[in-house]
Amino acid sequence: MRRIGFVLLQLLVWAALVAPFAHAREVVLSVGQSMPPYVMRADNRGLEVDIVREALKLAGHSSRVCFAPLARVPDLLREGMADAALTMNRETAIEAECLSDSHIFYHNVAISLKEDRLKIQQPADLRGKSVSAFQRADLRLGRGFAEVIPWMKSYSETANQMIQLNLLFSGRVDVIIIERHILKALLKATPESDMVDLSRPHVVHDIFEPTEYRVGFNDEQLCADFNAGLKKLRESGRYDELVAKYLEE
């Protein structure tokens, strides 16, 4: 009887140890195309990717990244091809069962060529300008930006943000809308070209508030697990280490 009791005690201890990981799973992440330093497809890493991966790992889950054009990211979640979608806000994550706590901020800005001497102090000042923005900027940058789009000379969105740089520095658009750290990373990584002079002086117009992003999940428990892991990541200091690593590279 004593031996049976000892075995039962061992089983109970074992069950208590493995219980937190009994629901562990591989989480498929729907992620936008390369947006360095936040998403770096060629290296399968980036600030946002690493934050989400490490938070999930702290909650006992592994993860796998599925890259897609930014406009398609929420579609993969809706179609059941992914368990979570990154870089979501309340306007773009209508397919999600649960939106996580905020895990990152992007700071988007308007960029013009210095020689054009444009005065842009608010989104309304984009009226009459030709503008190129990233995909779904109309849903991500607030009502003030969305309302001025019909009054622009022209407006387009693209998944490839190098195209935006080429459009601006070749003089084919007046303004591009891009995240400030993405702009810096692209300019730093792009070699000199005879086709487009990316060294032409430009002006950064800080007309948008930082955009708060979350992860959209199709499972509320998985969402809660991520939030718990994200809290641990912040409390440990690792979150700040990742920010310093990527934004100061």
- List, for residues 33-46, the tens digit of each pLDDT value: 889 999 999 999 99
**C-alpha–C-alpha distance, residues 161 and 167, integer Å:** 10
Task: Say what the pLDDT of residue 3 is.
Answer: 52
State the DSSP H helix or E strand holding residue 78, giving kind and residue range, or none if neither.
helix 73-78
Instruction: Domain 108-205: give its CATH architecture.
Output: 3-Layer(aba) Sandwich (3.40)
Question: 205 Cβ partners below 8 Å, 6+ apart?
Answer: 109, 110, 111, 112, 118, 120, 121, 175
**Across 216-230, average pLDDT:** 96
Banded model confidence at residue 9, pLDDT cuts 50, 70, 90: very low
Task: Say what the pLDDT of residue 20 is.
Answer: 46
State the DSSP H helix or E strand holding residue 12, giving kind and residue range, or none if neither.
helix 2-18
User: Where do the domains of the chain lie?
Assistant: 23-105+211-247, 108-205
Per-residue pLDDT tens over the stretch 124-145: 999 999 999 999 999 999 999 9
Q: Which CATH number fits domain 23-105+211-247: 3.90.220.20, 3.40.190.10, 3.40.50.300, 1.10.40.50?
A: 3.40.190.10
**C-alpha–C-alpha distance, residues 186 and 204, integer Å:** 15
pLDDT of 153 higher than 70: yes
The proportion of the chain whose per-residue pLDDT surpasses 70, expressed as a percent, equals 89
Give the mean pLDDT of the chain. Answer: 89
Higher pLDDT, 12 or 151: 151
pLDDT of 216 higher than 80: yes
Task: Say what the pLDDT of residue 23 is.
Answer: 76
Residue 213: how many other CB atoms lie within 10 Å: 22
Task: Say what the pLDDT of residue 94 is.
Answer: 66
**C-alpha–C-alpha distance, residues 66 and 197, integer Å:** 33
Task: Say what the pLDDT of residue 249 is.
Answer: 56
Per-residue pLDDT tens over the stretch 86-116: 999 887 766 678 999 999 999 999 999 999 9
Q: Output the pTM of the full model.
A: 0.86
Banded model confidence at residue 12, pLDDT cuts 50, 70, 90: very low
**C-alpha–C-alpha distance, residues 176 and 161, integer Å:** 10
Same fold, 23-105+211-247 and 108-205: yes
**Across 33-62, average pLDDT:** 95
Helix (H, G, I), strand (E, B) or coil at 66: strand
pLDDT of 16 higher than 50: no
